[in-house]
Structure 1
Amino acid sequence: MKIIVPMAGRGSRLRPHSLTVPKPLIPVAGQPIVHRLVKDIAKVLKQPIEEIAFVLGDPAWFGDDVVKSLEHLAKSLGAKASIYRQDQPLGTGHAIMCAEPSLTGPAVVAYADTLIRATFNLDAEADSVIWTKEVKNPEAYGVVKLNEKNHITELVEKPTHFVSNQAVIGIYYFKDISVLKDKLQEVLDENIMNGGEYQINDGIKRMMADGRVFKTGTVDEWMDCGNKNVTLETNAKILGFLKADGEEQLISASLQNNNSTVIEPCFIGENVVLHNTTLGPNVSVGDGCVIENSEVKNSLIQTHSIIKNANLDQAMIGNHVRYDGEFKAVSLGDYSVLE
């Protein structure tokens, strides 16, 4: 099994945090988004992963540190890391085709801007499985249309009348991804574009027209990381799940706790200092942070930041930030100073 991860976008909706760090590398509950996504997919697949192909953007933005991080992720799952580049933002179908040498055999395609919780088994009879989530307002999403056999017969974007309540979340399984590759090559050769981009859906629709069997795999949770507010919501959900699972150590043994209270669930990285502070619930704090005389809840603080005299709620703070003040729902990028 392979996993193909297109992640070349800049993540403009998550600025200022994505100005210095590619969005898929921004940590949620102590791990980068793309790391959590790939590990969760591996759990669902329940089979060995032989290769993870990452499609990155400009090397000036997705540099050596990013590549090393992704190689380490693949190695941790016993897989080979393949790195490809998408030099132009020409859409989801184009991004997949940038990984053309890896498009053989069974594979999962997953876009690195969401996180999931899922327990279903892949249907061995399906040529493809499109992962979906039941939603209350399907008119706001792309949804699947199903026939009497519960096979997917159509993809409908923001339907004006009820089609189904199963929204497409951007994760796909292909029994043989070379079939999708061939169809996407046709799309590129014929210059079929939607919104000025080559879309994965146009390749999928051609597979359906050939009679390929598409089924759904419904996830239990689908969590977005598109902007600050939803990223904080996702951080809180993931912390709750991890606390309930008990599979990860969320609070480092190196924590220096001076007259402070931690209200779980929280993630606290290495060498964090808390002084006269109440932290939590639903807070993630990266390595090397110092927080003094503060109350912090429902927030995400990255690494090596100094927070003093703060009352933070729904705050997102980057790396190497210095903050001393009375503001509350702040969003501060890397190396900001607010004193």
Structure 2
Amino acid sequence: MKIIVPMAGRGSRLRPHSLTVPKPLIPVAGQPIVHRLVRDIAKVLKQPIEEIAFVLGDPAWFGDEVVESLKELATSLGAKPSIYRQDQPLGTGHAIMCAEPSLSGPAVIAYADTLIRAEFDLDPKADSVIWTKQVENPEAYGVVKLNDKEEIVELVEKPKTFVSDQAVIGIYYFKDVAVLKDKLQEILDQNVMNGGEYQINDGIKRMMADGKVFKTGTVDEWMDCGNKNITLETNSKMLGFLKADGEEQMIAKTVKNNNSTIIEPCYIGENVKLNNATIGPNVSIGDNCVVDNSSVKNSLIQNHTTIKNANLDNAMIGNHVIYNGEFKAISIGDYSVLE
């Protein structure tokens, strides 16, 4: 089994947090989004992972440090890491084709801006499985249309009339991903574009036209990381799941607690100093941070940051930040929102 992860986008909706760190590398509950995604997919597949291929953007943005972290992720799962580049933002189908040398045999394709919780077995009779989540407002999503055999026969984008309540979440399994590759190559050769981009859905629709069997794999939780508020909600949910799972090391042993209270669930990284603080619930704090004389809840703080005299709720703070709540004149990077 292979996992293909297109992740070349800049994550502009998550600015300013994605200005210096690619969105898939932003930590949620103590781990980068893409690391959690890949590990959760590996758990669902319940089989050895042979290769994990990452499709990155500009090397100036996705540099050596990013590449090394992704290689370490793959090898930690016993898989061969492969790194590819998408030099132009030409769509989901184009991104997949940038990993063309890896497009053979059984594979999962997963876009690195979402997290899941799921427990199901892949249907051995299916040529492909499209992972979906039941939603209350299907008109806001791309959904699947099913026949009486529970097979997917059509993909419908934001239907005005009810088609189904199963929304496509951006994770796909192919029994032989080379079949998708051939269809996407046809699309590239024929210059078939939607919205100025080459789309994976056009390749999937051609597979359906050839009679390939598509089934659904329904996830229990689908958590987006598209913008600041949604990412904080995802962080809170993931902390709750990890605590329920009995996850160890959610609070590092090197945390120095001076007269501070921690209200779980929380993730607190290495060498964090807490002085006269109340932390939690639903807080993630990265490595080497200081929180002094502050209250922090429902928030995500990255690495090497100092927080003083603050009362934070629903806050997302990046790396190497110094914030003192006593000050009225503050300087925070571009695209920041103070609410």
| TM-score (normalizing by structure 2) | 0.97
- Distance, in Å, in 2 between the alignment partners of 1:327 and 1:64 is 37
Partner of 2:117: 117
Q: State the one-letter code of the partner of 1:261.
A: T
CA-to-aligned-CA distance 1:263-293 (integer Å, 9 cap, x gap): 0000000000000000000000000000000
Partner of 1:67: 67
Partner of 1:181: 181
Partner of 1:34: 34
In the TM superposition, residue 325 of structure 1 has moved relative to its aligned partner by 1.2
Q: Any residues of structure 2 matched to 1:249-268 within 5 Å, and which?
A: 249-268=249-268
Residues 1:73 and 1:331: Cα distance change in structure 2 (over 3 Å): farther
What residue ranges of structure 1 are gaps of 5+ in the alignment? none
Residues 1:110 and 1:327: Cα distance change in structure 2 (over 3 Å): farther
Say if 1:318 and 1:332, in contact at 8 Å, map to a contact too.
Answer: no
In the TM superposition, residue 194 of structure 1 has moved relative to its aligned partner by 0.3
Partner of 1:17: 17
In the TM superposition, residue 327 of structure 1 has moved relative to its aligned partner by 8.8
- Distance, in Å, in 2 between the alignment partners of 1:247 and 1:172 is 28
What residue ranges of structure 2 are gaps of 5+ in the alignment? none
Q: State the one-letter code of the partner of 1:105.
A: G
Q: State the one-letter code of the partner of 2:91.
A: G
- Distance, in Å, in 2 between the alignment partners of 1:250 and 1:325 is 27
Matched, 1:324 2:307: no
- Distance, in Å, in 2 between the alignment partners of 1:117 and 1:125 is 23
Partner of 1:239: 239
Structure 1 segments, 4+ long, off by >6 Å, are none
- Distance, in Å, in 2 between the alignment partners of 1:274 and 1:83 is 39
CA-to-aligned-CA distance 1:214-269 (integer Å, 9 cap, x gap): 00000000000000000000000000000000133200010100000000000000
Q: Any residues of structure 2 matched to 1:26-105 within 5 Å, and which?
A: 26-105=26-105
Q: Any residues of structure 2 matched to 1:137-148 within 5 Å, and which?
A: 137-148=137-148
RMSD of aligned residue pairs (Cα, Å): 1.7
In the TM superposition, residue 332 of structure 1 has moved relative to its aligned partner by 5.4
- Distance, in Å, in 2 between the alignment partners of 1:158 and 1:86 is 28
Q: Secondary structure, in 3 states, of the residue corresponding to 1:235?
A: helix
Matched, 1:106 2:116: no
Residues 1:36 and 1:298: Cα distance change in structure 2 (over 3 Å): same
In the TM superposition, residue 67 of structure 1 has moved relative to its aligned partner by 0.2
Q: Any residues of structure 2 matched to 1:215-294 within 5 Å, and which?
A: 215-294=215-294
Residues 1:327 and 1:153: Cα distance change in structure 2 (over 3 Å): farther
Q: State the one-letter code of the partner of 1:292.
A: D
CA-to-aligned-CA distance 1:60-100 (integer Å, 9 cap, x gap): 00000000000000011000100000000000000000000
- Distance, in Å, in 2 between the alignment partners of 1:333 and 1:144 is 41
In the TM superposition, residue 326 of structure 1 has moved relative to its aligned partner by 5.5
- Distance, in Å, in 1 between the alignment partners of 2:33 and 2:211 is 35
Say if 1:6 and 1:95, in contact at 8 Å, map to a contact too.
Answer: yes
- Distance, in Å, in 2 between the alignment partners of 1:29 and 1:115 is 12
In the TM superposition, residue 164 of structure 1 has moved relative to its aligned partner by 0.2
Residues 1:112 and 1:230: Cα distance change in structure 2 (over 3 Å): same
Partner of 2:202: 202
- Distance, in Å, in 2 between the alignment partners of 1:34 and 1:49 is 16
Aligned residues: 335
Say if 1:279 and 1:296, in contact at 8 Å, map to a contact too.
Answer: yes
Residues 1:241 and 1:292: Cα distance change in structure 2 (over 3 Å): same
Partner of 2:314: 314
Q: State the one-letter code of the partner of 1:73.
A: L
Q: Secondary structure, in 3 states, of the residue corresponding to 1:104?
A: coil
- Distance, in Å, in 1 between the alignment partners of 2:331 and 2:277 is 20
Q: Secondary structure, in 3 states, of the residue corresponding to 2:222?
A: strand
Identity %: 83
Residues 1:83 and 1:44: Cα distance change in structure 2 (over 3 Å): same
Say if 1:118 and 1:218, in contact at 8 Å, map to a contact too.
Answer: yes
| TM-score (normalizing by structure 1) | 0.97
Partner of 1:149: 149
Partner of 2:297: 297
